[in-house]
Structure 1
Amino acid sequence: MLKAELRKEYMQKRKALSSDEAFLLSKKVFENLIEYFKPVSGQKVHVFIPIEKFKEIDTQIFIDYFLSRNIRVFVPKIVEAKLISVEIFNDTQFEINHWDISEPFSSVDSKVLDFNYVITPLLYCDKKGNRVGYGKGFYDEFFQSISPESIKIGVNYFNPDEFIDDVWENDIPLDYLVTPTDVLSFFKGEE
């Protein structure tokens, strides 16, 4: 299927979830991620802040867990049409941007590029790790700038079903997809 078709289909599937369903599924995704990757103190995790109106995976659960275990947390902020990475702490102040996304007040780019994990938003991910986002390209550009050793993890309520037919040259696939029921690896030779 084409990205535009998948984007529309999976936005509808998300909208059909109740708030309680979305929270319970988010919790299962979180549990699968923690059990599989076992993040530890001192590691660096870049994690998106969810857009509530789009019923994205509730990553506040992830952020609270990481901060409580001295795992360094970085979140995205769009500054001058570019995604930067801002380190946050328990007392970090946030504001809502013009896309209704919560972002830190600070616009200081951490300049960190060697994340252990980059937890990535998406609407859909196929069985090859290709993702469908909102079409702005922020994460593909961000992926090009970070260390190739940083593990790119997509999180979604749904397992892959269709292949994406219109993958572009600049699209960078994910390394893993975590859903409420599975952790899928897109490394060759790894299941």
Structure 2
Amino acid sequence: MLKAELRKEYIQKRKALSSDEAFLLSEKIFNNFMRHFNPKEREKVHIFLPIPARNEIDTKIFIHYFLEHKIRVFVPKVAADQLVNIEIFADSIFEMSKWGIPEPVSNEDSGEDYFHYVITPLLYCDKNGNRVGYGKGFYDGLFQRISPETKKIGVNYFDPDVSVDDVWENDISLDYLVTPTKVLSFFKGLE
């Protein structure tokens, strides 16, 4: 299927979830992530902040755990049409962006280009790690700037069932997908 069709379909599927369903599925995704990856103290995780109006995965579950366990947390913020990486702490202050995304008040880019994990928002991911987002290309740009050793991990309520037909040259695929039921690896020989 084409990205535009998948985007439309999965926006509707996500909207159909109740807030209770979305929260329970988010908890299952978090538990699968922890079982498979189990980040350690001082490791660095880049993670998106959820847009409540879009019923995104509740990554606040992840963030609270990471901060409590001294795992360094970085979140994206759009500044000058590019994602910057801002380190957050338990006392960080947030404001709503024009897109309805909670963002840190600070604009200070951490300068980090190595993360152990980048937990990536998406609407859909196929069985080859091809991601369909909102179509702005922010994460493809981020993936080009960070260390190739960083694990690029998508999180989604839904398992993949069809291929993305219009993968472009600049699209960077994910390394893993975490859903409520499984963790998919897009490396040959790993699961």
Deviation of the 1:59 alpha carbon: 0.1
Distance in 2 (CA, whole Å) between partners of 1:38 and 1:137 is: 28
Q: 1:67-95: per-residue Cα shift (whole Å, max 9, x none)?
A: 00000000000000000000000000000
After superposition, the C-alpha distances for 1:100-135 in whole angstroms (9 at most, x for unaligned) are 100000000001111000000000000000000000
Task: Give the distance between the partners of 2:22 and 2:65, measured in 1 at CA.
Answer: 19
2:75 maps to 1:75: yes
**TM-score, normalised with respect to structure 2:** 0.99
Q: Which runs of 5+ in 1 are unaligned?
A: none
Q: Distance in 2 between matches of 1:47 and 1:132?
A: 17
Is 1:20 the counterpart of 2:56? The answer is no
* SS of alignment partner, residue 119 of structure 1: strand
Residues 12-91 of structure 1: pairs in structure 2 closer than 5 A: 12-91=12-91
Matched residue of 1:100: which SS? coil
SS of 2:9 mapped into structure 1: helix
| Partner Cα distance (2:12, 2:97) in 1 | 24
Aligned partner of 1:188: which letter? K
Task: Look up the equivalent residue of 1:100 and give its one-letter code.
Answer: G
Q: Secondary structure at the match of 2:153?
A: strand
Q: Check if 1:177 corresponds to 2:177.
A: yes
User: Structure 2 CA distance, aligned partners of 1:133 and 1:92?
Assistant: 27
Determine whether 1:163 maps to 2:171.
no
CA distance in 1, matches of 2:66, 2:53: 24
| Partner Cα distance (1:105, 1:19) in 2 | 27
CA distance in 1, matches of 2:183, 2:146: 23
> How far apart are residue 40 of structure 1 and its match?
0.6
Instruction: Say which SS state the counterpart of residue 74 (structure 1) adopts.
Output: strand
Task: Name the SS for the 1:14 alignment partner.
Answer: helix
Q: Which residue of 1 aligns with 2:103?
A: 103
Number of aligned positions between the proteins: 191
Post-superposition Cα deviations, 1:166-188, rounded to whole Å, max 9, x if no partner, equal 00000000000000000000012
For the pair 1:112 / 2:112, whether they are aligned, the reply is yes
Shift of 1:189: 1.8
Which residue matches 1:94?
94
Displacement of 1:190 in angstroms is: 1.4
AA matched with 2:119: I
Equivalent AA in structure 1 for residue 150 of structure 2: S
Q: What is the aligned-residue identity percentage?
A: 68
Secondary structure of residue in 2 paired with 1:73: strand
- 1:186 equivalenced with 2:180 (yes/no): no
Cα distance between partner residues in 2 of 1:168 and 1:152: 18
